[in-house]
Homo-oligomer: A and B are copies of this chain.
């Protein structure tokens, strides 16, 4: 019996097809003596269709038990009419919250072979390699009070941005730890000039740095200036740490700089479990892309690289992660391109499945 357990939640749209390719990679590792115990379940619209809820309690319980959850994507136009409380996104948000996955790691890396796909000039993005650490379980996403109520003769919509010192402290530490393993620089972003929660954010991050990470070069930037600087010259950054809502925008912005969303993985990590592994969920940055679902056009690489992050962060298999990442680079260097990456000369168009097979072959 293996002691590596994975729960796969393919979700909606292109989720199932990209996940099928990850399965091939997992199988390949299995035949090489690195077995994973894999179970599969529903999330998002798929779960709603089956159970009337975007995440069944049984699935939630399973997610709490495994070493890592691998999620495809959720959502689709079919579910737009649903009530807020049962929308596909709620399934994902529930996983994040109940597993307490406070640190969302969003690498924005520009693959040299693909730099042309960026809307930015080549010299601005080629070689780009930054990491955004987004707080994922607090802030305005979860703060109370919230809702729409009537005041006088009109409705009022309310949400609450709320951060405790310990919530800021733990995500700051996750970011400092990463900076230490990378280029040793951390930039924290908030709106301390306007928001008291931003003042507390800045103070706590500074205190953590002063006390326990004097070797990491820490800077602070207002989030609006951060959006500007990411656009102007993103290579100035190494690791960025920011809150849930700013992180949502800034990590998507950073992802788009690279020009190829179909390539970008993410990891969401929580506290260590009894076996020492962190609670963890891995998912591609791209969405469910319902417009191309089921046509073999989806790029499975973001989901495959999310599994590589699982190898590294959940199973301490850094060498194997590197091997998988190298295989991806190699197929790209060979010119293999799924539909999202076509349009440049010298490319060999491949389907979702062909891309998965090619990566297995490289392994």
Contact B252 A224 (CB under 8 A): yes
**Quick one: closest B residue to A287, CB to CB?**
B225
Contact A154 B165 (CB under 8 A): yes
Q: Is A50 an interface residue (CB 8 A)?
A: no
Verify if A41 is at the interface (C-beta below 8 Å from B): no
Residue numbers in B under 8 Å from A253 (CB-CB) = 227-228, 231, 253
Copies of this subunit = 2
- Among A24-32, A58-66, A242-250, the stretch that binds chain B is A242-250
Contact of A223 with B by CB under 8 A: yes
Q: Is A151 interfacial (CB 8 A cutoff)?
A: yes
- Please state if B227 and A249 are interface contacts (CB–CB under 8 Å): yes
Q: Is A163 an interface residue (CB 8 A)?
A: yes
Q: Could you tell me if B155 and A119 are in contact, using CB atoms closer than 8 angstroms?
A: no
Does A273 make an interface contact (CB < 8 A)?
Answer: no
A154–B223 Cα gap in the complex (Å)? 25
B252 A196 Cβ-Cβ under 8 A: no
The CA-CA distance from A124 to B257 in the complex, in Å, is 13
Whole-angstrom distance between the alpha carbons of A187 and B228 in the complex?
21
| Contact yes or no, A89 B194, CB < 8 A | yes
> Do B223 and A119 touch across chains, with their CB atoms under 8 A apart?
no
Residue A38, interface by CB 8 Å: no
- Cβ of A315 < 8 Å from any Cβ of B? no
Are A197's CB and B159's CB within 8 A? yes
A161 touching B162, Cβ below 8 Å: no
**A157 an interface residue at 8 Å Cβ cutoff?**
yes
Chain A, 181-196, CB within 8 A of any chain B CB: 191, 193-196
Given contacts A193-B89, A194-B93, A245-B191, is CB(A231)–CB(B119) below 8 Å? Answer: yes
Query: Does A147 touch B at the CB level, under 8 Å?
Result: yes
B161 lies within 8 A of A159 (CB): yes
Do residues A199 and B249 form an inter-chain contact, with CB atoms below 8 A? no
Interface size class of A (residues with CB under 8 A): 35 or more
A119-B231, A156-B163, A165-B154 known; A147+B196 contact, CB < 8 A: yes
A148 touches B (CB below 8 Å): yes
A119 and B232 in contact (CB under 8 A), knowing A147-B196, A252-B227, A253-B227? Answer: yes
Interface residue A326 (Cβ < 8 Å from any Cβ of B): no
Residue from the list B143, B165, B246, B261 in contact with A249, Cβ < 8 A: B246
Q: For residue A146, which residue of chain B has the nearest CB?
A: B196
| A293 located at the interface, meaning its Cβ lies under 8 Å from any Cβ of chain B in the complex | no
A120 CA / B199 CA spacing, docked (Å): 33
Q: Is A20 an interface residue (CB 8 A)?
A: no
Report if A219 contacts B (CB, 8 A): no
Q: Which residues of B contact A249 (CB under 8 A)?
A: 223-224, 227, 246, 249-250
A164 contacts the other chain (CB 8 A): yes
A361 at the interface (CB under 8 A from B): no
Closest Cβ of chain B: how far from A205's Cβ, in Å?
Answer: 12
Q: Could you tell me the distance between the alpha carbons of A121 and B117 in the complex, rounded to whole angstroms?
A: 11
The distance in angstroms between the C-alpha atoms of A158 and B139, with both chains bound, is 9
A292→B218 CA distance, assembly (Å): 24
Give chain B residues whose Cβ lies under 8 Å from the Cβ of A3: none
Q: Are A154 and B166 in contact (CB under 8 A)?
A: yes
Not counting A119-B124, A158-B197, A159-B160, a sample of 13 additional A-B residue pairs whose C-beta atoms are within 8 angstroms of each other reads A93-B194, A119-B120, A119-B231, A119-B233, A141-B195, A148-B197, A151-B164, A154-B166, A155-B200, A156-B162, A160-B161, A161-B161, A227-B256
